[in-house]
Structure 1
């Protein structure tokens, strides 16, 4: 038996904000779009309790990555236990994604390059330079850059490099 190509889609649970979240994300990431909106029907209303015509699912694509936003209700909450990491080539990219995604978010959750956006979705905005430093095998430099990173909210590549060099 031949196996089909594996497709994995991230499903995010929202409480009535799936379409708003999808529009927010596609406004930030290049080559992104909403691919489908599915609405609640009268069928099943006794169980789902939603008004017919309201959005059940917003399917969207962020630069080649598939997502589904599900308006499932208040039963479940998003948490920083799951986050999406954005690898940034330079400080301009770090600044762009950090500033855009943190608009309206929870500043208390913003540490070490992590942030929670206004919908409660957690992101890590990480310069690839930091990953290179951490993977360098240079124990002293890794220790210094780790200490510097732990004191930052939005990551600053110049300061991280300075710490790494000692």
Structure 2
């Protein structure tokens, strides 16, 4: 059990003194192709999110495809690619990336976002009805508790992953 690697394909490569067999090598090549072709898709979404999150007022005014929009577009793209390259060069093991993604993004998808969506739906339904229902207050309190629990689990998971990477635990 101690020899289990975070990258599952490495676990199938039994004799490390020999090159991997044909099936493992094919799997490595397929994963490399999948990552290579999916990176531009991820970069596109990340670039749009960065634009809308940090530069919404600036890029709303310049949506004519002019020089200013292109310079901003290229600058954000280069920054994302360089940040990805830096992380790829500094982090030696993909398991570290998966651990941090699980403790942050995974917790958001499982606990925090569904509860926030529920709270928003309840708020919208309250706006359309004049009645104040005790059930809605209780369910909103439960969803708020779930958000708090998710934030707590995310912080604990990120701290545990950080300590594990630093070889403290």
Q: TM-score per shorter chain, which class?
A: under 0.3
| Structure with greater Cα Rg | 2
TM-score, with length taken from structure 2:
0.24
Higher strand content, 1 or 2: 1
Higher helix content, 1 or 2: 2
TM-score, with length taken from structure 1:
0.24
